[in-house]
Structure 1
């Protein structure tokens, strides 16, 4: 066992703190990873606010890259010294999805068996709940070895670590879930970190036009930098009408975009996405709704008559072992600008302040560099 510094949320709505935690030596199927960089994701804020569950205290952080320090018995996929991006989809290989070859839909993903614990204070020894089974706002963390994906060690950790969650969710929503390709039009409603990643994914796939929709001018500017060909300020313009007009000017007779990605997670924007797609088009929900939200009131005949597909995108329907190395290679080739997502590099003591900047829409990603 070793002791390291880490960011912990002890109670709902309370500021996070940097404290010392205990990291066990890796057991069977586990690995200890020395973290190099970890992005500050909105999901971490959800954990702090009790929006995920109430299993406090939480060890926050999950969009991370680092170096494997040690592995437990029976680990063959990675070894000490490997540069890895961490993921929260360690596939089991045994469930019905895995056995039919759909590993990206594994129903039984898993995490480390042992628990990291608080090392100081009156609650020393208390088990920590690592965010998404990772907990990477820490100098080192314990994960299942299957959560480690080897990538090019020369890649910038602050950039490629973001594939661990939001960037992969957005790129995958466009390419994997939405099947965006050349000859298809794409609209993205909501241009935060996941939304602009969906824009980047659509651009990578060769889709056109790519229409970014948001109420924030700064987010729309970021979407243009990542590949959007058109923008719509939905605070002043009806986004459904605007998307139909833009696509119709390119493809005569089109009644909307081939793929509309909803990256907000609200009923009203999902309804916009539904009516902004072309006949037989696809709606992809990648924005995460709250449990109390319900589908908007849409006549069933509209569901039938417009055809197409209504999909939810889990983690961009990614398979880390397949997608992470490919996307890192594209980044290294200059074909995918992951650096554009890194708004600032910060220290481990600055996570609470980064949450504030996130609220203000001032950053795509703050990245903790260790």
Structure 2
């Protein structure tokens, strides 16, 4: 029997989300129903709300989530009812060339693993409701394939644990997997929101000898210092002036630049502040059709690298255990990344609060009994 739940539904881009009663389908063989505990508000969700990224509507957004397994399909083997889990938007089959080659975020079989003959969510009138990333976690419960789930320790508070599914996976993952930072390296992180702060922590954990935080907002730079930045640069509208400020700190440029904003200008800045043989890793999602312009001589003659790292090029199943150990040892500060925790009904107020320059992550609370 379909499960009646409440969900925050995006009816049209540019409009507030509406709390609606919808029906969640029964799990198929390899699917799992998860009762939502805490869910984070990610800037990619905000892009869909504003319409700068497109999605079929009506839709339920949300993907950075922790919850408890409520039901499992007949063929599920990796999790069981009662398990506490976090979810990734980049499931991996473990069988294709990309997965076996250590690049699971590029899994060639994602569309196949997500395919189903009927919608996961419907309104009571039978209208299908899209689930972002085949998750749709802005709801009391959601339905995902077991390959999207990783068990997570109960020693991590729920408000911190939910960050592992996107913010931390992307930021720390970019430092560890995408950029492969070492103790020899100097690093610049452009954009000090949730993913940028996670990238700064990832660079610190990886042992980077200098970490330069770059942002246009002074309050965000103050936050960046608290999370491990050794130096800060206040970005200006003049990208070359910003690059000059970075070179005053590190005259030869940086070995690694991680971009966590999602604009062509900041992606180009990441490349332009590289030292020869340096690597720029772009994390920010940009609207379809955007183009980057970089100097060809700097690329070729300087052996510089410009690369993407979708979702930080994470390795989700093993990364969750890594993040957990670093958190429990005090090396990864998740608690301080939680700016505010709001009840689910205040989701639109949460999106508004994201504009506060001191906000790192806003969390929604669905299970009142958990901390």
Normalised TM-score (structure 1): 0.92
Distance in 1 (CA, whole Å) between partners of 2:109 and 2:174 is: 21
What SS class does the counterpart of residue 211 from structure 1 fall into?
strand
1:74 corresponds to: 75
Q: Residue 102 of structure 2 contacts residue 315 of structure 2 at CA under 8 Å; is this kept in 1?
A: no
Distance in 1 (CA, whole Å) between partners of 2:295 and 2:165 is: 38
Q: What RMSD in Å do the two structures reach over aligned CA positions?
A: 1.7
1:245 corresponds to: 248
Of residues 333, 345, 363, the one that matches 1:367 is: 363
Q: Residue 4 of structure 2 contacts residue 22 of structure 2 at CA under 8 Å; is this kept in 1?
A: yes
**1:135-178 deviation line (CA, Å, top 9, x unaligned):** 11111111111111011122111112112112211111111111
**1:8-48 deviation line (CA, Å, top 9, x unaligned):** 10112111011111112211100000111000111112222
Superposed, which structure 2 residues align to 1:268-347 within 5 Å? 268-296=265-293, 298-347=294-343
In structure 2, the CA distance between the partners of 1:262 and 1:210, relative to structure 1 (3 Å rule), is same
1:264 aligns with 2:261: yes
Distance in 2 (CA, whole Å) between partners of 1:307 and 1:273 is: 15
Q: Residue 299 of structure 2 contacts residue 305 of structure 2 at CA under 8 Å; is this kept in 1?
A: no
1:117 aligns with 2:126: no
1:136 corresponds to: 137
Displacement of 1:61? 1.1
Structure 1 stretch displaced more, 68-77 or 46-55: 46-55
**1:95-147 deviation line (CA, Å, top 9, x unaligned):** 33134453343122233735233444xxx221111122111111111111111
Distance in 2 (CA, whole Å) between partners of 1:32 and 1:320 is: 19
What SS class does the counterpart of residue 57 from structure 2 fall into?
coil
1:89 corresponds to: 90
Distance in 2 (CA, whole Å) between partners of 1:359 and 1:188 is: 20
1:350 corresponds to: 346
**1:160-215 deviation line (CA, Å, top 9, x unaligned):** 21121122111111111111121211001111111111111101111121000011
Normalised TM-score (structure 2): 0.92
Structure 1 stretch displaced more, 89-98 or 2-11: 89-98
What SS class does the counterpart of residue 28 from structure 1 fall into?
coil
Distance in 1 (CA, whole Å) between partners of 2:332 and 2:95 is: 34
What SS class does the counterpart of residue 354 from structure 2 fall into?
helix
Distance in 2 (CA, whole Å) between partners of 1:90 and 1:126 is: 27
Q: How many residues align?
A: 360
Q: Residue 274 of structure 2 contacts residue 304 of structure 2 at CA under 8 Å; is this kept in 1?
A: no
2:52 corresponds to: 51
Q: Residue 3 of structure 1 contacts residue 119 of structure 1 at CA under 8 Å; is this kept in 2?
A: no
Q: Residue 189 of structure 1 contacts residue 261 of structure 1 at CA under 8 Å; is this kept in 2?
A: yes
What SS class does the counterpart of residue 200 from structure 2 fall into?
helix
Distance in 2 (CA, whole Å) between partners of 1:111 and 1:363 is: 33
Q: Which structure 1 segments of 5+ residues have no match?
A: 249-254
Displacement of 1:216? 0.4
Q: Which structure 2 segments of 5+ residues have no match?
A: 367-371
What SS class does the counterpart of residue 239 from structure 1 fall into?
helix
Q: Residue 38 of structure 2 contacts residue 365 of structure 2 at CA under 8 Å; is this kept in 1?
A: yes
